[in-house]
Structure 1
Amino acid sequence: MVINKKSLFMFLSLACLMLVLGACSSNNSSEETSSAKTVTDAVGEMEFPANPEKVLAPNMEDYLVTLGITPVAQWSIGTSVHTYLQDELKDVPLISWDMPIEDVIEAEPDLIMFESEAAIQEGMYEEYKKVAPTYVFKPEDTEDWKTQLTVMGKLFGKEDAAKTAIEEYEQKAKDAKIQVKEAIGDESAALIWVTGGQFFVFEGDRYASNVLYKDLGITMPTYIKDLGKSQDVWQAIALEALADLDADHLFIMAAENEEGIETLENSSVYKSIPAVKKDQVYFFEDSSNWTINAKMANEATIDLVLESLTK
């Protein structure tokens, strides 16, 4: 076979080009691989994927949306979802709170996240790991929403977004606190959730109580102080136990046609509460923002509290 100079030059040029392209491809692959990171969660070490595009994080959608991430599916109990997030999640399919493995597989996530080990159905952790890398938050990382958002920001490489979101919230709460003080002074307030004919009083550190008492500086009634710190399992209380509720304002969450409301309003106990006597009771059909502690939920709570107290 005879190869002339022109053919040899073209052959060598092509070979060099292939080598360069191969090197570029190798470098890109190496960069992508190195951007995945080994992290330690509540279970142990795991490989946190680089730039996951299909994140499944039940009951943590607020955090994802705050960071500009749309989840592949959203937490639900039946058809009930986090209503306050539906402007952002209205087109996102639902997945049941107990995360059935067949539904998880169908969602095709490239990352699964759980808020705690207790949030995982017994014996299912290894099954979820077979579907996608699974991250479980440490208890100390979920003690408050700001810490959790900061941790998530680091995991997703969105530290600046997390910091900005926290700063925005703190400014909103600071401004609202001034308005609340001007509106009600040192008057107290409490929150009650009525569901399934049962009554749940928010302790001073449960969900939206953090907004009322810590962020907005509203006075905590003695009754709420005496409840102490919240426990993991939320216990319903007897209607009669509300006899000592010394709140000047009362926020009540109850779905439309909730059976417990009629029982509550017809009771002499309810009528004896200072807030009821003063006609300072505010009803809300949507409980979703009140029963979770996260940035967007708390912002919604602030707006509703201001609307109620300053009208």
Structure 2
Amino acid sequence: MDSTVASTPPWERSPPRPRRPTGGLEEGEEIARGRTVLRGIGGGRRYEALLVWDEHRLAVLVAKVLRPDQATAPVALHDLRREADLLQRLGHPVIVRGFGAVLDPPRGGGARPHEPAGRGPFPHLVLEHLDGPTLDELLKDGQTLALEQLLPLGLHMASALHYLAAEGIVHLDVKPSNVVMGGPPRLIDLSVARTVREAAALRSPIGTDAFMAPEQCEPDGRLGPPADVFGLAATLYTGLTGTRPFPPCEERWPQLTAAPSKLPRRTPRALADVLLAGLDPDPSARPTAREVAVALEPLVAALPRRMTLGRR
């Protein structure tokens, strides 16, 4: 669920680590007053992802709960607060919505009857529940998307990234597993997102190896919204071909030295131009998210319309 600094390449990975500690939360248990666990749905290094019932909203939501070994860690709490703050200030139909966070355990042994729902001993972030597969799940075993799916997806994602850039935010982890397919699709997981100023100040790799722009691999002060355009281009390339634009090799980040693999001949020229421009190693040479949207819009408009039956 959460992304952190760039992952270690397979040839440098150590043996499997022990199972990450969990809070031992089971169905029916409360993580806060009026917020009960339905089931676990995954997680990451820092978080458990739980499907929860929120009595205040009478709705099923998702809670990202800090694991026990992270629940009092200043860095983990800081990052959870940053993600909650970013989600609170954002409002876009293609970006997952946040519904607040619980960051500090209550004093005196628990919530009192007059306290609002959402206070409890488990620091967590609350998100809307999106009922649909991720793009990554749809692309298992080399599957691909038809242009009728891919082009609207690209247009939606470009609109979300244009909005984020206008808000002064860089997502930094645009990839198939962070896209939930639906109508419309949703961009999720802002756990490593930064403001433009914070992104420019980074000096350590951040993101997911295969979808990182070169300036994410070796931050040098140029990291900003163009990195998200690179991630989008790599994501759409993967959706179109079923493979990553830079196949794994002995180098951790082949995108630093290699050109992307050739696209299939069936790829419309206008789409190929957008994808290759988005994968340019020079961030200043990439199109903006707005320019990607403008380039994709006529391709989407030209798609066959669903046939409807009129009166005869």
TM-score past 0.5 threshold: no
Structure with the larger helix share: 1
Task: Say which one has the larger Rg.
Answer: 1
Give me the TM-score of the superposition, normalised by structure 2: 0.28
Structure 1 length-normalised TM: 0.28
